[in-house]
Structure 1
Amino acid sequence: MQLTVKILQGAECQLEVSESATVSMLKTLVESRLGVPRASQKLVFRGKTLQDDDTMTACRLTDGAKVFLGDADRFLAEFKKKFDQRLGSMSMDDIQRFCASNMTEF
């Protein structure tokens, strides 16, 4: 079957895999085509993160399906950058409220 793997806000590629291939095998193909290390890949289909040991069939992937790729390292770096920028613009009262809300109200 042919799958499309799309990096959020980035490139995409088409990959040919068998229905019995595992998500781990798919991640190896993604690494070779898109250059994203396997360890930092998070593959998502229909809102669910795909588990390494599951097969394409178990994940309900069919020919022509689109899988989204999150790069955990990139997301973490972007989050840290935005967090630092936001924190730098907060007053002490804002920081206190933020901490008191268990860091849910930013």
Structure 2
Amino acid sequence: MKIFIKVLRGDGCVMDVEKTTRIIDVKKQIEADLKVPVAQQTLVLLGKTLLDDKRIGFYPKIKDGTKLHLVIKKPESLNTILTRFLRNYYTEEQTKVVMDQFMKDFQAKVYSLSLDDLERIATSYLNDENI
């Protein structure tokens, strides 16, 4: 059956799926087609979030021609991720001290990179993306 994936900003795609296709596999195909990382995707049908481990057949409202809405989550910042991690091991005050020092060190290292360094890093990431 064919389903339509609609993104709020106007993009979208059409996919051929079976009742046995897992939602995570749909998301992987969306990543390939629309270049949206799986971790940033939430698929919604009639206001309900579809679960990654379920199959298309689990949702009886998904039929040929159904439109699923793709919500793209904003990626979390490095600061947010590290702060959440550190809170598991340190007090709020200690976490703030560690994060302030880390961000100072990080910014100093980034600012010390030359344009050649930045080009090598960018090229490396672009090459990894195309593999």
| TM-score interval, smaller chain | 0.5 to 0.7
Does residue 72 of structure 2 align to residue 71 of structure 1?
yes
Q: Which protein has the larger Cα radius of gyration, Structure 1 or Structure 2? A: 2
- Unpaired segments ≥5 residues, structure 1: 78-106
Output the TM-score relative to the length of structure 2.
0.55
Bigger share in helix: 2
- Unpaired segments ≥5 residues, structure 2: 78-131
- How far is 1:10 from its partner? 2.1
- How far is 1:67 from its partner? 0.2
Letter in 1 for 2:35: G
1:39-78 equivalences in 2 (<5 Å): 39-60=39-60, 61-73=62-74
> In percent, how many aligned pairs have the same letter?
33
Between the two proteins, the alignment pairs up a number of residues equal to 76
1:1-106 equivalences in 2 (<5 Å): 1-60=1-60, 61-73=62-74
Alpha-carbon distance between aligned partners in 1 of 2:25 and 2:9, rounded to the nearest angstrom: 24
The Cα RMSD (Å) is 1.6
Alpha-carbon distance between aligned partners in 2 of 1:63 and 1:19, rounded to the nearest angstrom: 10
Letter in 1 for 2:38: R
Alpha-carbon distance between aligned partners in 2 of 1:65 and 1:58, rounded to the nearest angstrom: 14
Higher relative contact order (CA 8 A, sep 6+): 1
The runs of at least 4 consecutive aligned structure 1 residues that moved more than 2 Å come to none
